[in-house]
Structure 1
Amino acid sequence: MKKNTKRFVTCFLSALLLLTFVLANSKPAAAQEVHVINPDPEIIVLVPGETTKVKVPIRAVGSYISSPIILADATGTPYTVSQPVLRTNGIDVPMNIIYEFLDQYVEFDVTVAETAKIGNYPIKLNIYGTSPGDEKVTTELVVNTQILQEKEPAQLTVNKVTYDNTTIGKNMNLSFTVKNEGEITARNVYVSIDYGESGMVAGYSTKKIKVEDVASKKEVPINLPIRILPTASPGMNTITVNLTYKSEEGENITDSQDIYISLKANDSSPNLVLGKFNYTNKAKPGEKLGLVLEIKNDGANTAYRPRLSVDESSIGTENFIKNYYTDYIELKNIKSNNTIKVEVPLTISKEAKGGLKELKLNLVYFDQQGVEYKAPVTIYPFIEAEGISQDGTPVIVVKNVKQSPSKPVAGGRLEVSFDMENKSSIGLSDLKIGLQDLSGDTFIPVESDPYKYIGELKAGATKRITIPLKLSENIQEGLNTLTIGYSYAGGSDKVDIPVLNVENDLGSASKPRLIVSDYNADIEVIKAGSVFNFNFEVRNTHSSVAAKNIIISVSGKSPQDQSEIFTVTQGSNSFFVSKIGPGETVSNTLELKAKSDAATFAYPLTVSIEYEYDGIEPNPTTGQIGEKEEHELTLQVVENARPVVDYVQVYSYDGQVVMGNPATVYFDFFNMGKSTLNNVIATIEGDFTSTSGNMYFIGNVNAGESSSAEFEVIPNIEGMAQGIVKITYEDSNGDEQVYTKEFETTVMGEMTWDPGFDEGSDVFNPMIPEPKKAILPTWAFILIQVAIFAIFVPVTRKVIISLYKSRLLKKEEEMYQ
C-alpha cells in the first residue's frame, strides 16, 4: 500500500513539473530579470566545533533556471562548507532545475572551527545557469548565520604527578598526565622538561616528546626516566614541564607548569669535603704557593679513585702555574671518616697582581658502583704585590697641593702646584700631565700646550708639578674642582684637585648666591640604622644683595637604586627662611636616620635652595619667579657589621689541657648584621701556637647565618692562658675589617717525676718483697683436716638417725590415741 502511494505521488509531481515546463516555454522571460530568492529567510545559529546540515529554501523569480551550478563562498568566515546540492521536497534525487512555484531548497554541510568567535557571518551562494531562451543567468543568495557562544581555548595542565626513588645519585621514574582543561582540541602536542639547576637530567634521548592530539577534558599519561646527579642538593627542587601545541589556525602555544620534587641525601654515598688548607704566608709573584689541602670523607662509604685538578680559569700568566705535567693529581682511596693531606704544587705567576686570588679546584671521585661525584672547591689565597693595586694599576699619589693666591679672584690668575709620587715598585715612562673637563666658565689654561711632558718617574720618586691658570669671570664663588689627567706607557688615570675660596663679584651685582658653607654630623661614625643630627650652614656670598623667601630642602638618595638613604625622623625635610642678608649665614639642624641595611659608601646628600631677591625677573620660558640651586654633599656611612664570636672552648681529647701538648680551640662565628661578610678568615693569637697553619678560611657568611671553626694549638704557658680569636673580613665596600674575641683557659703543667723516687735504686733489678711465712707446716695442716672429717661424719649420722626415730614414734602415738 505504501509503495503504491509513493508511486502515485511521484507520478503526480512529475506531471506537474512537465506542465510547468510547457507553460514556462510558452512564456519566456528576459534573462536579466531572472534571479532567486529565499521565500522563508532566517538567521541560522551555528555552534563552534560542530558540523550542521543547512537547508536554505530557494525559488526562481522571472523564470525557471535550468542546469544550475551552485557554489558556496565562505570567505571571511570560520566555516568550511561542502558542495551545495539542489533538492525538492518529496523527491530523493537532486534536481537540475530551479522552479518558480515548487518548494525547493539548497542543502550543504557547514563545519564551524573550534576557535570561532561570536558574530554574524554571511555565506554567499553563487548560482550559474540558463533561462528558457538559453540566456545565461548569474545570481546569488546570501545565507545569514550567527555564532552566539565561544569555546574556551585549549589549556594543558599537568596532573596526577607521581615519582618513586628520589635518592641522590639514583634513577627515578616520573609519571604524570597531560589534561586539556579547555574546550578546544590541542593539536600536535609536545612535552619537554626544563631541569634548570635541580641536579636532575633526562634519562631519555628525545628532548621533545610527541604526544597525540589532546581533546577537551582528555588525559594523556606520560612516563619519563630521570637520573639524579650525585651533585644534586637535597631538599626541594623544581623542574618545569613545557607543553607546546598548535591551535586550529596553526599558532604555536606553550603552557608551563612547575613540579616540585624533594630529593633525599644518599646516606650510603661517599662525600669528600675540604677541611683545612695552608699555604706560604706572604707569598709573592714568582714564588711557590706551598698549598697543602686536607680532604675528609664525611660519607658512609669509601671514595674510590679520587683525583684533584686545578681549574683552567685559575691557570695563566696572571694567576698560577702548575708544577706538574698531568691533567690531575691522583689520590688514594679515602675510607669513611678518614682524612688525607694533599700537596698541590703551584707557582704564583710573576705577572700576578696583589690581593686575594681565586683558586678553583675540581675534586672528582666514585662510589663502589662507579657513580661519579664532583666536588668543586674554591679558596682565596692572599698574594703580596708591593706597589701594585689589586686591579693591576700602579699606585700614584698626589699630595702637598698648594694654590696661589689662597683667595683667587674671578678674572685673575692662579697657580696650582702639587707633588706626584710613584709608590709603585715599577717605574713609569712617557708620563704626561694635562687638564681635563675644562669649560669657559671655570679655568682657562695660560699655556696653549695640550699637556706637560714629564717623561720618566722612577719607582718611589716624587715630582713637583706647577700649572698656571686664569680664572673665568663667570666662575662660581667658593669651592671649584680642577681635574688633572695623567697618562703613562700602559695606562692612564685622573685626579680632582679642589680650588678653595674663589671670589666673584663680576657681573652679578644684582643676583645673590647661596652656598652650603659648612656641614657636619654630631657623631664621628655614621653607622647604618643610626640616628644623628645633621648640622649645616647656608651662606649668602653676595656683598650687597639679600636673598628672600628661602625654602631649603634636604634629600639623600642612593645613586644605585634611588632609595632614600637618609630620612628625617621628625617633621619635614624642608624649612623656610625669610631672609639671608649679604655675607650672612643661617644655621640649621635636622635629625636624620641612616637606612638600616645601607652598605659602606659615601652617599650623596642634596641640599636644594629656592629663593628670591630684589629686582628678580621672571623666567622667560616658564614665567616663574625665583632661583634654585642644588648642592650635593657626601656623608660616609659604615654598614652595621655585627660579627660575633661565641662559645669559645679549649679542650683536649685526653681530658685535660696540658702545656706543650696539642689541644683544640673551637668557636662559633655569627653574622648578626644586615650585610654579607666576605672572605672571613680566623687566626689564633696569644699564649697558643697553631699547629695546622696560621689561618682558617671560613669564606662568605650571609646576614643572619653562622659558621664554626676548629684550631689545633699547643699551649705555651702553665696556669691561666690568655688567647685572642682574630677575625678579618671584607665589608661590602671591599675594605678589610678586624674583630677580636678574647678567651682564657686553665692549662696544666707538664708531667714530672715523683720527688720520692730513690735515684740510687736499680730500676732493672728491683727488690721483690718477701711473702709472709706460713703459721703451720703443710703436713700438720693436712692431719688436722683429716681428724676433723673423721669426727664430724659419725656424729652427724647419729644425730640424723635420732631425729628420724623420734618422728616415727610421734606418728605411732597419734594413730592409737
Structure 2
Amino acid sequence: MRKLTILLAVLMLCLQVFSSTVAYGAISQGDNIKIDRYGGAPSKIREGDSIDLMIKVSNRSISKLEKIYVDIDQSSDFYGDPLYTNFYSLPELDISESNAELISSGYKLVYKGTGNTLTLRFKYFIGSEEYTETQTLYIKEAMPTDKTPPSGGGDTDNSKYRPRLTVDNSGRMPIIAAGASYTLKYNVKNISSYRAKNVKVSLVMADPSKAPLVLENYDLWQTVESIEGDSSKEVVFDIKTNKTSPEGIFPLTLKFEYENSYDVSFPEYTETVYFKIENNNISPRLTVAGIAVKPSATVADAVTLELTLKNLGNLKADDIKVTLGGLKSGGFTAYNSTDVKYVNSIGGNGTVTIAYELMPPASGAAGSNELSVKFEYKDAAGNDYTDNNQIFVPAGDGEGSRPNIVFDQIASPQNAVVPGQEFTVGFDLKNNGGASARNIKVTLGADAGIVTRSMNPVYLTELAGNKTQKISFKLFAADDTPTKNYPIALNVEYEDAFGTKFNASQYIGVFIENDAGKTVPRIIIDNYSMDPFPVNAGEDFTLKMSFLNTSKTVDVSNIKVTVTSDDGTFTPTDSGNTFYVESIPRTTNIERELVLHVKPDAEQKSYMLTVNFEYEDEKGNPYTAKETMSVRVLQNPRLVTGELNMMTETFVGQPISLYLDFYNMGKSTLYNLMVSVEGDFEGQGLSYYVGNFESGRTDFFDAQFTPMMPGQQKGAVLFAFEDSNGKKTEIRKDFDINVMEMQQGPFDGGDFPLDMVDPGMHGKPMPGMPGGPAGASVWVYVGIGAGVLVVAAVVFIILRKRHVRRKELSLDE
C-alpha cells in the first residue's frame, strides 16, 4: 500500500511538470480587438493596384494589450508586398481605448482582383500570456476581375463575361470648314464590370459612297490596349476634309472589336456619330484675263497669240482643256499646232499664260478677227465645268516700212467689278513699224452699263517707229449693270506720212458681278444734338442735325428738308421749318442747324420731331424719306414759400417755434424734397422729408429749436430737391434771432446782485425787494414769467393743431 502511494505521488508529480510545460508554450485564442474603420483607399481598386490602408482599432477587453503585431492572412484578397507578416504593429492598447491607428510597416497592400476581403491575424500579450485572433474587413472599393471559372466541373463558358462599350457623345456636334484639318475626340466607356482588351476602334463614313467627296482620309482606326470595367478611354482621329466637300451633316460609324480577359472575341459593335461641314469656298471659274499679240520668234509671217488665263475662284481647277475657236480660212489659222492646249491646273486666284502660233489673215482682211476660247476643267472632287470667252485679235500687214501700232501690256481688273465701282483700263500703244504713225486717234468702246469717265477718244500727233506711248481710261460700272463678262473694244486709227489710213483693234473682257440689283440711295439722320441740353419749356434751343447719304454708289441732289412738330410743341424762331440742300455725295454727311422754341405749357415728357426728305439721284429719279427724333422737355421747378412765422427775440436756452407754408407752383414734380433748419441751434424735428412733391400740392414745415449762444444768431430754412433728370436744387429762407442772456431771479437767496441795488441807497435793496422800500414790485418779474408761460401754451396749441392738420393731409393723399 505504501509502495502504491509512493507510485501515485510520483505519477502526479510527472503530470504536474508536463502540464506546466504545455501551459508555458501555448497561445490563447482572444476576442479583445475590434476594427473601428479603415481609410486611405481610392474610390476604385483594381487588380494589381498597390495601396496604403489606414486601420483604426479598439480594445474591448478589461485588460491592457501589449506588443501587438498584425499579419496579412494568405486567404485574403490582398497580399503584402514584399511580406505578409508584421504588416502592422502597435506597442500597446489601453483598457477601453478606441480609434487607435495601427502603425504601418511601410509596405504596400496589393489587390489580387479576386474579392473584397482583407483578413488580419492579430498577435498580442496580456501580461505574460500571448493571444491571437482573426478579424476580416470588407473593402467595398475593390473591383473583382472575376477571372475565376465557375465550379461544378465541365467546360467553362467565358463568353458571358462580355464587356459593354459605348460612346459618350454628349458634347456638341463638331463643325468643320471644308478643306480644314480637324481632330475628332470620342470618349469610349466600358459600362460593364468586365475588362475589355485589344480594343480596335474604326471610324468610317456611314455612306461609303460619299467618303471620297467629303474626306481626304476616310479609313481610320485606333487601338486601345485595355479598358477596365466602369472606366473610359479617349480615342482620337485626325481627319482632313475636301475643299469641295458639300455642306451638310454627315453620319460616321464607330466600329468596336475587342476581347474579354479570357481572350474571347465578340462580334463587331457599331455606334453612329455626326459632324457638320460648312463650305465657304468659291468654285473654280476660268476666264481670259489678258491678250498679247507678238511677232513669232520662229516664223517670219506668223504671230504669237498669248492668252493669260485667270482662275476667279479660290479652289483649284484641274485637267484644263483650252480650245481656240474661230480659226478659219481667210482669217487666223493655227500654225504647226492644233487649236487645243492642255494645262494641268490653275490654283485659286492664280494665272497661267498659254501661247498659240497663228498665221494672220491675208492682206486686206478685216482689222480684227473674232475668236473664241473654250475652257473644260474639273475641280478637286471631279466635278466638270465649262466656260466660254470671246476675244478679238488684230490683223496687221507685217510690212516694216510702214507704221504698225499694236496694243501691248494691257492692264484691266483681274477680279470681278461691282456696280458703282470705278476701274481703270491701261495699255501701251506701241509702234512696231519702221515708220512714224501720225494723226493717231485712240477710242474705247463698251456695252451699255460701262461708262467712260475720262477723255475718249485720245488724240496723239505722232508716234515714231519702235516707240511706245502709255494710254489709260477711267471707267465706271452703273448701278443697274447685270452680271456678265463685258467686252471692251480698244481701237486705234492712224496714218502714215503719205496719208494712208490704218487701224487696229483689241478687245478685253471685264467681269461685272451685281448681287444687289438696283441701288436705292437713302438719307438718314446719323447724329443730332441740342444746345442747351436739357431743353426747358418756354425757352429756345438749337437743334443740330447730321444727314448721311448711305449709298455707296449714288450721289443725291435737290434735297428738300422739312422739320415738323405734329402737336405744335416746337416752332422755328428765326427761320421757316424747311430748308434746301444742294447735294450730298455718296457715303458723305452734312450738318444743318435750326433754332426752335418750346411752348411754355408743354408737359414734362419726350416729344417727337419729324424730318421729311425729298431728293433725286443722278438720273433725276425722285425719292422720299422720313426720320424722327426724340426731344425731352423739362419744366423749370417753381417752389414758393409763405411767410416765416417765429419770434425774433429770445433768451439763451429758451425754445422757439418756427412755422412756414410752401407750395409747388410749377408744372413738374419735385423729387426727394427735404426741408431742414440750418444754424447754431439745438432741438428735435429740425428736418422734414416730404418725398415727391407733385405740381399744385401745398404743405407746411414747423420745428422747435433752442439757441444756446447769446447775440445775433443767423439761421435758414433749407429746401433741397431734385428734378426728373436728377439735378439738385437748394432754396434758402434766411432769418435772424436776437438771443439775450437770461437774468438771475430775485429769490435765489444770498446777497442781492449789484445791479439790483440802487446806487443812491448806499447798498440798500431796491424798492420792492425784501428788506427794501416799497416801490417797483416783485410782480414785474412774476408778470414776465407768466407771459412766457402764456406764449408757451399758445405755441403748444398751434403746434397741436398743425400736427392734426398734417395727419389729415397724409390721409387724404
Question: TM-score of the superposition, structure 2-length normalised?
Answer: 0.27
Larger Rg: 2
